[in-house]
Structure 1
Amino acid sequence: MESTYKRAVGLKRAKKLVNAARNSVGIQEGQKMARKQLNNLLERYELLLEQLNALENEIEKLVKEIPGAEEMLSVDGIGVITVGGFISQIGDINNFNIILPEL
């Protein structure tokens, strides 16, 4: 029984297609645009880092103005962001009665 379709593409034709793809405008322009997009993303990342640093500096200034914050910051592992978040949730810590156990 004879087949009604041709078999797979030959090696010669495959090599032609690969060479054509290497010289394709799409490949060259695609690389340019990918490079451009990567540069844009890196620029955005740098801008976001600058903005984050500015916000962290502002938070640090504000937190240090709050009574009791310096004492909280003296605890190992507790940073400005943690103290700021804690105080923003509970308010003035002096509003609480703290009972310390006797040692």
Structure 2
Amino acid sequence: MKVSLINTIKKLTVFEIFAILICCLLVFGILISNYVERFRMSADYRWIYEKGKMVSFFMIYSSPVLSFFNALFLYLRQKISLRRKIIWGLISLLPTLYFLVIFITVFLID
């Protein structure tokens, strides 16, 4: 199991690794944003809330931009099969698709 997992990771290109990291960036940004809400009303730990919100804001809103450019570079620069480009392109575009779905649902509700 370990050997095959290590070999699989070694076969990934830089853009494929970035696709996974960008998705993790969005998830961790959302988790940090939810976690620092506990410090919102605390007088002593208000700075944790402020810094945490700033970090999560950067993480959440940079992920769609990074995912779009990563998918673009993945499609244009990689010499891999079309099927693999489509799969990794969709994985890379998950944060962008997430925001598109949220924006569409918000605008349809209003």
TM bucket, shorter chain: 0.3 to 0.5
**Larger-Rg structure:** 1
TM-score (norm 2): 0.33
TM-score (norm 1): 0.35
Which structure ranks higher in relative contact order (CA pairs < 8 Å, sequence separation ≥ 6)? 2
